[in-house]
Amino acid sequence: MTIIEIGSMALQINRKTIKNLRITVLPPDGRVRVSAPASMTDTAIRMAVIGRIQWIRRQQRDFANQARQSERRMLGGECHYLWGRKYRLNVIERTGKHEIKAGRGQLNLYVSPGTSDENRVLVLETFYRNELKNKIKALLEFWQNEIGVDVADWGVKKMKTKWGSCSIQARRIWLNLELAKKPPECLAYILVHELVHLLERKHNEQFKAYMNRFLPDWEERRNLLNNMPLAYSQWAY
């Protein structure tokens, strides 16, 4: 990986065994990543990027203007999301098991007196992880059969720049923990997206044809996902 600068813009250059150059603007700060054919010169890359400069700037402005939640401090009264709905955090100090129970517009966080903010966050993340895994299990059973593929393994983890990923060789998919905060139809979209990669590696016309076949409203779901409020330090897909 190399870095090329065009004025105040820094480009992250990844040279690969591909035929065509691909420019990606990454949230949340509009960082620009360029995947280029291995033989392409720096000058040719610069010219290609300059030709797309207006599009890049529009993408960067969109990320800058996207709604974000305020910083979470895990205090009572804060707003947190679960499956696309807002919940108020209700902190209840008690001895015993740390856990969260959702109900009537509230996330009731049960913790021991004096529990640190960091440990409160861990309780919330564990809750999100369990919620997400339960939904993924049900969705996988349906969509693997529908699409005609099987994954060898899957998991949930924090991801900085992606909602999901697929290791085609290992037949393993990962889904972002943040999806527990988004509407269920967004989770289904990302899951189908990653499963379709087992049929088609690239985001080409064949990939889109598969998405149209299995999930005709996938573009609406993608737009819904990318228009939801981002977490304090989150991005978009």
**Amino acid 64: pLDDT:** 67
Pinpoint the residues of the chain covered by CATH 3.30.2010.10. 79-227
Phi, psi dihedral angles at 77 (to 5 degrees): 95, -15
Contact at 8 Å (CB) between 217 and 207?
A: no
pLDDT at 18 over 60: yes
Local confidence band at 237 (pLDDT 50, 70, 90 cut-offs): very low
The structural architecture, per CATH, of the domain 79-227 is: 2-Layer Sandwich (3.30)
Report the pLDDT averaged over residues 161-189: 94
> What digits encode the pLDDT tens for the residues 19-70?
899 999 886 667 899 999 999 998 899 899 999 988 998 888 876 666 555 5
> What digits encode the pLDDT tens for the residues 104-148?
899 999 999 999 999 999 999 999 999 999 999 999 999 999 999
**Amino acid 230: pLDDT:** 60
Contact at 8 Å (CB) between 25 and 63?
A: yes
**Amino acid 214: pLDDT:** 97
Local confidence band at 227 (pLDDT 50, 70, 90 cut-offs): confident
Least confident of 24-38, 43-57, 155-169, 223-237: 223-237
pLDDT at 223 over 90: no
pTM exceeds 0.75: no
Torsion on CA atoms 193, 224, 159, 66, rounded to nearest 10: 140
The residue among 25, 21, 54 whose CA lies nearest residue 11 is: 25
Phi and psi based region of residue 202 (left: phi greater than 0; alpha: psi -120 to 50; beta: remaining):
beta
